[in-house]
Amino acid sequence: MHGAVVLGASGLVGQRLQQRLANHPMFIVRALAGSQRTAGIDPSELPWGLEGQAPSLELPPVLDVQDPGLVERLHGLGVSWAFSAVPSDVALTLEPRLVEGGIRVCSNASAYRRRSDIPLVVADVNPHHLQTRPVGSVLHACATNCTLIPLLMPYLALHRAFGVRTYTATSEQARSGAGYGLLRGEVPLTFDIPGEAEKTMGELTWIAGDLHEGTVHPSTIDGEMRCQRVDQADGHIIDVVFELSNHATQPDVEAALDAFATHPDAAGLPSAPHRPMMRVAGPIDRDRHLWADGLSFPMHVNPANDLQAGMATVVGDVRMDGPRHVRLRSLSHNTVRGAAGGVVLLAELASTRWA
Ligand SMILES: NC(=O)c1ccc[n+]([C@@H]2O[C@H](COP(=O)([O-])OP(=O)(O)OC[C@H]3O[C@@H](n4cnc5c(N)ncnc54)[C@H](OP(=O)(O)O)[C@@H]3O)[C@@H](O)[C@H]2O)c1
């Protein structure tokens, strides 16, 4: 078992991480860390904001990420892995400090995404990008933005089958995508999400890019995107039209979506869903499809045990607008697949590669 610290433990993603690691077969949480606001608090006193009980973990008081002796304290607690769910500006200095101290870091923050020396990985899609150089000396990897997932899965399925010339997407993003503040109504709901579209479109070019001699060469992908918030608790939906390079029929398109499979390197990992994407014949239902696991749509999930639940993207309302335009809607659980579940899956993969 690898000892782990959750950075940003009072936050929404930090608590999803604790939930997913509570009974994990490869990782055990040995410490929590946060800002000076929560440092020193007994972990059982952090307010729990997710469905179900807080995991009962016997842990020391919350560590302060600013503590100059943090790395030594983590080593003393048997921590060799960090799951990062702190704001990006905090991650910028915290994550390299841990990596330099010999702690492996898997991050949900955006600070080190799209860097030539740090892999950006969706484990069941581009696991080979973990070989981005200098692997072995820098044990640091990032998961993607939550909004990318429902765009990425159908994009790749259609691009591999027919080529995609361009896409036009609009997101409908849940409140939990902006953390507990917006989920709990402590900050006002605004519909515009500045910078989100550029981030998402940029990450698509990286994940779809080729790896040559340890360097990722991002793809050139033509697209347009608009990102907006909706007044829903969980789940990001993308409404998208893909323009294909080659003609296709509705059955061809459905077959290509259905054939999209887990990369063999990730198959069998505890958090890998049976399939990364499921297709429904009719419309997407946010409540019914949120916890898709690649085989079914479970309704009464225990996220601390059901590691595959919420990890599959669901596409629906698939239809052709002429022979080269595919219109569909796509749903992903943003705090599970798009955040904590995605980064735990990444760590599961990385633990098979990193010494
Ligand atoms: N929500 C999502 O769907 C989602 C998806 C993908 C990625 N992410 C990324 O995950 C990270 C966390 O997001 P969230 O949704 O969990 O937000 P959140 O609910 O607002 O939680 C923020 C966390 O950051 C910590 N924090 C704030 N300022 C800090 C500081 N100066 N030093 C150390 N810790 C500090 C807070 O800890 P204290 O209480 O101790 O201050 C809290 O635990 C962000 O980088 C976000 O972009 C989120």
Can you tell me the distance from the alpha carbon of 60 to that of 329, in angstroms, rounded to the nearest whole number?
A: 45
Can you tell me the distance from the alpha carbon of 118 to that of 240, in angstroms, rounded to the nearest whole number?
A: 29
Can you tell me the distance from the alpha carbon of 99 to that of 80, in angstroms, rounded to the nearest whole number?
A: 10
For ligand 1, atom 12, which residue shows the shortest CA distance?
A: 85
Question: Which residue out of 6, 12, 144, 193 has the highest number of ligand 1 atoms within 8 Å of its CB and is therefore the one to mutate?
Answer: 12
**How many angstroms is it from 8 CA to the middle of ligand 1?**
6
**How many angstroms is it from 280 CA to the middle of ligand 1?**
33
First-to-last alpha carbon distance for the chain, in angstroms, is 14
**How many angstroms is it from 144 CA to the middle of ligand 1?**
15
Are 277 and 315 within 8 A, CB to CB? yes
Residue 341 Cβ inside 6 Å of ligand 1? The answer reads no
Per-residue confidence (pLDDT) for residue 52, from 0 to 100? 84
Residue 122 Cβ inside 6 Å of ligand 1? The answer reads no
Q: Largest alpha-carbon pair distance within the chain?
A: 62
Per-residue confidence (pLDDT) for residue 135, from 0 to 100? 58
What's 2-112's CATH class? alpha beta
Can you tell me the distance from the alpha carbon of 158 to that of 277, in angstroms, rounded to the nearest whole number?
A: 12
User: Is 128 tagged catalytic?
Assistant: no
Residue 342 Cβ inside 6 Å of ligand 1? The answer reads no
- Full DSSP string of 49-79: -SSSPPP----PSPEETT-TTHHHHHHHTT-
**How many angstroms is it from 17 CA to the middle of ligand 1?**
12
Per-residue confidence (pLDDT) for residue 261, from 0 to 100? 96
Per-residue confidence (pLDDT) for residue 188, from 0 to 100? 87
Per-residue confidence (pLDDT) for residue 166, from 0 to 100? 98
Residue 180 Cβ inside 6 Å of ligand 1? The answer reads yes
DSSP annotation of 46: S
User: Is 247 tagged catalytic?
Assistant: no
Ligand 1, residue 49: give the atom nearest the CA. 19
Catalytic member of 24, 129, 140, 146: 146
Domain at 148-332, CATH from 3.30.360.10, 2.70.170.10, 3.30.70.3270, 3.40.50.1370:
3.30.360.10
Can you tell me the distance from the alpha carbon of 332 to that of 249, in angstroms, rounded to the nearest whole number?
A: 26
- Residues in CB range of 2: below 8 A, 6 or more apart: 26, 27, 28, 80, 81, 351
The pLDDT tens digits of the residues spanning 130-159 come to 988 765 556 999 999 999 999 999 999 999
Per-residue confidence (pLDDT) for residue 133, from 0 to 100? 76
Catalytic member of 24, 129, 140, 236: 236
**What are the tokens at 42?**
């007994």
**3-class DSSP assignment, residue 339:** helix
**3-class DSSP assignment, residue 345:** helix
Are 17 and 48 within 8 A, CB to CB? no
Domain boundaries, the chain: 2-112, 148-332
**How many angstroms is it from 120 CA to the middle of ligand 1?**
19
Half-sphere exposure of 197 (CA within 13 A, CB side): 17
Which residues of the chain are modeled with pLDDT < 70?
Answer: 134-138
For ligand 1, atom 33, which residue shows the shortest CA distance?
A: 35
Residue 108 Cβ inside 6 Å of ligand 1? The answer reads yes
Instruction: Determine whether 300 is exposed, middle or buried from the number of CB atoms within 10 Å of its CB (0-12, 13-18, 19+).
Output: exposed
CA distances (Å), origin 124, targets 166, 305, 349? 24, 20, 9
73 φ, ψ to 5°?
Answer: -65, -40
